[in-house]
Amino acid sequence: MPRPATDPAKAAHIKVLRQQAGRWLKTAREQAGLTQAELAEKVGLRYYTFVSQVESGLGRLPIETQGAWAQALGLEPGDFAKTLLRYYEPELYRLLFGAEAAASGQDRAAG
């Protein structure tokens, strides 16, 4: 079965969410006192450019690496993954945690 064409409005919204996730991750990295290169080393990346791509919203963290990133940033892994889920999969987040959680999460993300 072919995939439906991507809706331009949805694609734009996804881009905005990825950028917000990137800003959140950059803030967490800076609060942890790490450079992009130091974070990359802590999570086992060969090149820091992946950190840069994620922080700019061009990439996203694979699920299997989120625990290592949380640990490197000194964050609780469950909360870290839940926050990224809100950005990366907002509909799934809404289904799991309800509309109120999604709304309050958007408020926090904007702040």
CATH number at residue 24: 1.10.260.40
In a domain, 1, yes or no: no
pTM of the model: 0.82
Per-residue pLDDT at 107? 47
Binned average pLDDT, 10 residues per bin, the chain of 111 residues: 77 94 98 98 96 96 97 98 96 87 53 44
Domain holding 74, by residue range, is: 9-110
| 48 Cβ contact list (under 8 Å, min separation 6) | 35, 36, 37, 39, 40
In a domain, 79, yes or no: yes
Per-residue pLDDT at 86? 95
Per-residue pLDDT at 110? 45
In a domain, 3, yes or no: no
Give me the number of domains the chain comprises.
Answer: 1
Could you identify the residue written with the tokens 């969410």? 17
In a domain, 31, yes or no: yes
In a domain, 98, yes or no: yes
| 86 Cβ contact list (under 8 Å, min separation 6) | 93, 102, 105, 106, 109
